Amino acid sequence: MSHIAPLAPEEIADPELRALIAEAEALGVPDALFPRILARVPDHAKVLMRALLMSHAEGNVDHRLKEIIRIQLARSAGDPYFAALRSARARRAGLTDAEIEAGCGNYETADCLNAAEKCALRYADHMYRAPWAVDAAMYAELKQHYSEAQIMELGAFIAFHYGMQTFMRTLVAKPLAG
Amino acid sequence: MRSASAKRQGLDEERLDEGIERYADSPNFSASEKLALRYAELMATDPDAIDGAFYDALRAHYSDAEIVELGAFIGFNIGYHTFFGTLKFYPLFSPDGRLVGQEESARLYGSAPASLSGAGVG
């Protein structure tokens, strides 16, 4: 059981928050546990859930790449909850477990990842393990593969998801599906 | 950068520094405030120390809603400050309120943000 108990579904009356929870459940990330914990502060929950869903599932960076990065970050943050969840949309788009494992492991030598994907994975990997290595040279390399808008989308996605994963790690939460 | 709202409520640089560097032994912070500051510090440096007993201690001072508010706020800041640090941008205004260029701002506020000195969550 999480250190902070989630609200029961029937305790969440706000229709906007209920819709966001349904949207997250359809995506698979997060399952209903995270928003039901956040629902203890409903206004915060709505803003955080909108940001979580938008940063992961919308924008101009491939959702499959973001899904690999999200799992890589969750493992780096030591958060079993977000690390265990999988995006149904990324799976429908063809993302395989083998590609996830390649992206979370030795991605630099993985044949199934292209140079742009490896660069994004390195950006996320270094952001919290070796932030000093995310320097002007790395941004110059990112600009060879991505627009500045895409780099901002990636950076904000990485920062937001890592932050929420770090919080969830301390709650010792596990996915609802076990 | 500083919150104008917090300043208006009496937060000054001395209290800010004390809250960051010397809060544990300070007589100027309540037990509740010290615990919240410890929560933030541990989440960034030693999250395994935030265990069931720590959450029980938090509950002695805060509601579950307040703990979630604090935890999400702390996580958000841990995530974003490291990202911002890699972008090498600095506040638009000097401490005395002048609009300054990025080079001068870097000189004023330092070229190595503290968030870059760590290596993320252990």
pLDDT band of A1, cuts 50, 70, 90: confident
Dmax (CA) for chain A in angstroms is: 51
CA A87 to chain centre: 10
pLDDT, tens only, B60-69: 999 999 999 9
Neighbour-count burial for B42-55, b at 16+ CB within 10 Å, e otherwise: bbbeebeebeeebb
B109 Cα to chain A: minimum distance (Å): 18
pLDDT band of B118, cuts 50, 70, 90: very low
Task: Provide the pLDDT for residue B116.
Answer: 39
Quick check: B72 and A164 CB within 8 A?
yes
CB A54 within 8 A of CB A144: no
Whether B117 shows a pLDDT value over 90: the answer reads no
What ipTM was predicted for this assembly?
Answer: 0.95
Which of B79, B115, B121 lies nearest to residue A78, judging by beta carbons? B121
Reported pTM: 0.93
DSSP string, B34-73: HHHHHHHHHHHH-GGG--HHHHHHHHTTS-HHHHHHHHHH
Which of B69, B78, B119 lies nearest to residue A44, judging by beta carbons? B69
A9-171 fold:
AhpD-like (1.20.1290)
Which residue did the predictor score with more confidence, A168 or B118? A168
Task: Provide the pLDDT for residue A78.
Answer: 96
d(C-alpha B84, C-alpha A152), whole Å:
10
A78 Cα to chain B: minimum distance (Å): 8
pLDDT band of A33, cuts 50, 70, 90: very high
d(C-alpha A93, C-alpha A26), whole Å:
15
Task: Provide the pLDDT for residue B95.
Answer: 82
